[in-house]
Amino acid sequence: MADRFRLSNCMRAVVYDSPVFRMRVRTRRLKSLLAGIVSSFGQATGERPPADAPRGAKDDNNANPGVCPPLPREDPCWAGSRGWAWITARTAIACTLRRSDARGGQRERGGFDEGAKRVAQVAEERSTILERGAMEITMKRALFLIVWTLVSLSKPAHAQSYALRGTLVIPGDVIGNGIVAISGTKISSAEVDASSPAIDVDGVIFPGLIDLHNHLTWNLFPRWKAGRLFANRYEWQEAAEYVEMLDGPHRALDAYSCEMNRYGELKAIVNGATATLGGIKADCIRGLARNIDFLTELTPNQEVGTEPFRNLVFPFQPASPCEEQAIRDIDKPLQPCAPGNLPKPTTTLHAAVAHVAEGVDASARREFALLEAHGFLVPGFTIVHGVGLLPDHFDRMHKADVGLVWSPRSNLELYGRTTDVAAAKAANVVIALAPDWSPTGSTGMLAELAYAERLRQGLALNKVLTPKDLVEMATVNPARLARIENQLGRLAPGFAADLIVMRRLPRPSSGPPDEKTLAYQALLRQSPADLKLVVIGGTPVFGEPALMQRLLSPQQLQQTETIRVCGENRLINVRAGTYQNEPWSVTEARLRSALTAFRIPLADFVECSIP
């Protein structure tokens, strides 16, 4: 009973010694075939790779200079605590594609091939055991089982069709009584339709929010109050209190990076984001939200680390000369090498975001000159922060078609002022809004939108920014900056079925209501407690129990868990398409236990009051 063959939304791939499909390996051909299949999936023996086996470099700014890091090949394909690999459906596909590395398409030696040899060896050793009481099956049935398994792996488990009725926020307009129809992972229609059957969500339906600036693994830490202001980011990163409360514990918790990443993704979703970035390990991000910098899953059978997008915290310390050249050559074929984890030679880097001018002094402002000197001021590049930039800088950004990501709360907490968005807007720079991170920014997109809405009123920005502008800063604008505007950011036919539902605001007691403004304010003037539903790729992943129960199958409902959000129950579908097929309660308990060593509590998912 030690090894089992299970097919569920997570395929735990154990080929032999199955209580259901006990088989006798009758010919060398069958053994060879099975070994080849398992070899394609990864080293299925469950043994950890030898110390000298080739491994992927981390996709961060600390990779070896001068070397283009290969595709990551870490825990998902090697994992297994009982003698065989446990591989989820999605990870199995990724492992199949990893037969080519990022630097020349050569088949790896000593890793997957050794796994195939080991499988054949184990099959030979167990042949006598398998004969006792084994179920005789024909070659056709064995082949059918294998083919059926592979086909099932290639299909999303959540494929379904349904329709939601509510107020629709579509590009440039609001539909008071509309229906968004979802077929599989895509939106099939979004229009006025009073007659078609649909589930009434009694709310306002928005495109899923897109977060272009976050640091996911830091979001388990509570809010950090430095007690003073800084001139630039290099100052607070050297502060003793920062090292003690954040940097030191974060480094010490490296072994929990996958759990931290999972926490960050779920926190993003509970705050309305369906796409985000800022994970630190490619083997941890096959999870809930779309990961713009590692895996959006906007193309079929996509492999981790092949996104044509780069997220740079320190842009003047690139991971390699390859990466630096690729940023200069955005939208050009990557020759002779590729940035980060991208395969070569035909892949093109489409977009990059980088922290620039994060601070209020001259040294922060000089980073813009460095940006120009490096040749990074090109279409497809986006500046994150830009706190120290002046109107002339924004004019140059517009001429170069360079975008801006605005994170006002973190800016004001650390520097006492934020980016001159009025000047950026006047220069026609495309602006996105994002929370940065929980320690000094907002808990997520909804909280940052509420914060920006208050700034819009308090800083007299209401003459510059409209409620519609803020909504677009969280939807269509970040999609445009990430060069995925034809797939995300809108409720439109053919777009990915990523959406959220907010409660409706009550109509004003006096005067005719402005339906559009009222719809926009449902996103800007409410908290995560008012988030009724989150759908990613057609799959409901978070929401009110009543809605989730109507949208999920009985089997899917069995995998949901209940969490409390501002005193109300919400269901989370955390095992929807993630290789970490464990209950959220287990992940949460593990993180709480790890943080006790530093006497630090696990941060809450949300802030229930508008900041």
**Which helix (DSSP H) or strand (DSSP E) does residue 266 occupy?**
helix 257-270
Q: Where are the beta strands (DSSP E) in 184-326?
A: 186-192, 199-207, 209-210, 273-276, 290-291, 309-312
Structural Rg of the chain based on CA atoms: 25
CA distance 222 to 592: 12
pLDDT at 57: 33
Digit-coded pLDDT (tens) for 392-413 = 999 999 999 999 999 999 999 9
Q: Are 376 and 315 in contact (CB under 8 A)?
A: yes
Digit-coded pLDDT (tens) for 94-116 = 333 333 333 233 333 333 334 33
Average pLDDT, the chain: 76
pLDDT at 297: 75
pLDDT bucket at 330, cuts 50 / 70 / 90: confident
**pLDDT of 75 above 90:** no
Delineate the domains of the chain, giving CATH numbers in brackets. Answer: 28-154 (no CATH), 210-219+226-249+291-486 (3.20.20)
**pLDDT of 188 above 80:** yes
**Which helix (DSSP H) or strand (DSSP E) does residue 167 occupy?**
strand 161-170
**pLDDT of 132 above 80:** no
C-alpha dist (Å) from residue 575 to 105, 196, 276, 345, 555: 32, 31, 18, 35, 12
Tell me which residue of 230, 395, 247, 375 sits closest to 316, measured CA to CA.
Answer: 375
**In a 3-state reduction of DSSP, which class is residue 532?**
strand
Digit-coded pLDDT (tens) for 484-526 = 999 999 999 999 999 999 999 988 777 666 889 999 999 999 9
pLDDT at 254: 92
